[in-house]
Amino acid sequence: MAPLQLTGQVLDVRRAGMYTVLSLTAPGLAERTKPGHFLNIGIGGDESGLLLRRSFAIYQAQSRGVYGGSVDIVVGVHGKGTQWLVERRRHDNLSIVGPLGKPFTLPKDPANCILVGGGYGTAPLFMLADQLRERGCRVDVIAGAATEEKLFGTLEIKRAASTLTVTTEDGSMGVQGRVTDVLDDIITKTSADVIYACGPMGMLAAVANVAAARGVYAQCSVEESMACGIGVCMTCVLPVIGDDGITRMVRSCVEGPVFRGDRVRWSEVGTVPTDALGAPTEGH
């Protein structure tokens, strides 16, 4: 279904550790949202000097309720744009476009699923966990971050998971180390059929590698910087192998953000592989 462009109103702003959760009215958008979809928000109003919209995974979508549909997003402050956003208050208006991108694909039959979130990459996994459970899937969650404060929603996600394993690089919470230090073991214990992952590119690459080594199907939601989010600017590309075996520089906003783990050429993200379609030939 086509994305919508609308003006949403801030319903609620709340802190969640080092992140801020914004609840926004978004009539029509919430109903269309599937786990893994994202939206983007205009920054600073009509005359803003910050032209580029900021993209966020949709964390929760409530299609009914007194506001006729609302969505939640999780914002981490990285610069002026996200700083402006977390300073919004109840009743402020925001320009919203969404839902955008290709969402996660859900298994037709009950399957054993591992959900891996890095930092606030757990955000789109909550709706996913709920929908997987509704389909009779087993859901085990791994949440990892550098430190405890960079984790998001670990208490909340427990509700939807058979098990939750937390990893932090400094050992401030859970197992000291990275998500991939525990992933192999959990694949064995749960006889996992599918791995869903969202987080920084390095983590996704590592998760996709473990999944490939164990022969487990993986879906990874990537994080690439985008200008438009709707497929027209061509800035958010990464090398992905197509069904025909040919590598193309594809747009993560419309052909992703969710990709099959075995299709992204992780080690070459940020480059144009020499065998990619239309890659520069020598001497040109």
Interface residues with another protein (CB under 8 A)? 2-3, 5, 42, 46-47, 49-53, 81, 95, 97, 224-225, 227-228, 230-238, 248-249, 254, 269-272, 276-280, 284
Q: 90: which 2 tokens?
A: 């109840």
Q: How far is the CB of 5 from another protein (least distance, A)?
A: 6
Give the residue with the Cβ less far from another protein, 81 or 119: 81
Q: What does each C-alpha distance from 222 to 55, 57, 93, 197 come to in angstroms?
A: 12, 10, 28, 9
Q: How far apart are CA 239 and CA 188, in angstroms?
A: 30
Report CA 146 to chain centroid distance, whole Å.
18
Residue closer to another protein by CB (options 153, 239) is 239
Cis peptide before 99 (omega within 30 of 0): yes
**Least distance CB 98 / another protein (angstroms):** 11
Name the minimum Å distance from CB 9 to another protein.
18
Q: Write down the least CB distance from residue 95 to another protein, Å.
A: 7
Q: How far is the CB of 237 from another protein (least distance, A)?
A: 6
Q: Is 76 helix (H, G, I), strand (E, B) or coil?
A: coil
User: 10 or 249, CB closer to another protein?
Assistant: 249
User: How many Å apart are CA 283 and CA 125, to the nearest integer?
Assistant: 46
Q: Where does the chain have alpha helices with state H?
A: 29-32, 80-86, 125-134, 154-158, 179-190, 201-214
**Considering beta carbons, is residue 49 or 245 the nearer one to another protein?**
49
Cα–Cα distance for residue pair 172/139, rounded to 1 Å: 25
**CB-wise, 46 or 243, nearer to another protein?**
46
Distance between CA atoms of residues 77 and 264, nearest Å: 28
Q: Which is nearer to another protein, 108 or 284 (CB)?
A: 284
Q: List phi, psi (to 5°) of 52.
A: -85, 135
Q: Which is nearer to another protein, 7 or 188 (CB)?
A: 7
CB of residue 117 to another protein, shortest distance in Å: 24
Q: In the Cβ-directed half-sphere of 133, how many Cα atoms lie within 13 Å?
A: 17
Least spacing, CB of residue 94 vs another protein, in Å: 13
